[in-house]
């Protein structure tokens, strides 16, 4: 039964997929394959379509809609230009090296300063309340602690900056 069904539906599926593919932004072969898989899933579940031709037309349109939705939501990797603020590659490399130097100095800080500074430098932009909760200190002592840590960081970085 399956072989006869596939043989009888192949020309119709090819035509329907070809007709829908361009508007969906997909390859006709991809639509065909998706519909074949849906048919196999139905046959595995022992739920063959009562009207195979009608089911096939609806399945092709459904897959085309799914493909359109997916293509609207997905963004290809690396296609959108990176906003580098108009800086040249040399400046970007220098900024990255400066960031690495700061992070290395932060790791050398005493006490709980490394954890505090990492939380302050976090790209997640944590609030003082979140940082205080994460470090287990009161929110009121966060400012003075931050000032002490920044002072230590300045002293650590001063020889490196002067050497350059």
107 and 69 in a common domain = no
Model's pTM, two decimal places?
Answer: 0.45
* Domain count for the chain: 2
Which residues form the domain of 68? 2-73
CATH of the domain at 121: 1.10.10.10
**Contact, 67 vs 24, CB < 8 A?**
yes
Find out whether 89 and 125 touch, Cβ atoms under 8 Å. Answer: no
Query: pLDDT truncated to tens, each residue of the chain (164 aa)?
Result: 578 888 899 999 999 999 998 888 888 999 999 999 999 888 888 888 889 999 999 999 999 998 888 877 776 666 555 565 667 888 888 888 888 888 888 999 998 899 999 888 888 888 888 888 888 888 888 889 999 999 998 888 887 665 55
Question: What whole-number distance in Å separates Cα of residue 104 and Cα of residue 156?
Answer: 10
């Amino acid at each position: 039964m399956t072989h006869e069904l596939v043989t009888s539906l192949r020309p119709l599926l090819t035509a329907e997929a070809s007709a829908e593919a361009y508007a969906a932004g997909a390859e006709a072969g991809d639509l065909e394959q998706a519909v074949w898989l849906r048919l196999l899933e139905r046959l595995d579940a022992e739920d063959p379509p009562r009207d195979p031709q009608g089911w096939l037309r609806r399945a092709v349109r459904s897959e085309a809609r799914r493909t359109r939705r997916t293509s609207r939501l997905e963004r290809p990797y690396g296609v959108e230009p990176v906003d580098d603020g108009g800086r040249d590659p040399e400046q970007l490399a220098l900024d990255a090296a400066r960031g690495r130097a700061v992070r290395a100095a932060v790791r050398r800080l005493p006490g709980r300063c490394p954890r505090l500074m990492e939380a302050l430098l976090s790209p997640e932009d944590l609030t003082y309340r979140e940082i205080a909760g994460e470090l287990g200190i009161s929110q009121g002592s966060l400012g003075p602690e931050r000032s002490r840590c920044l002072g230590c960081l300045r002293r650590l970085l001063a020889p490196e900056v002067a050497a350059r």
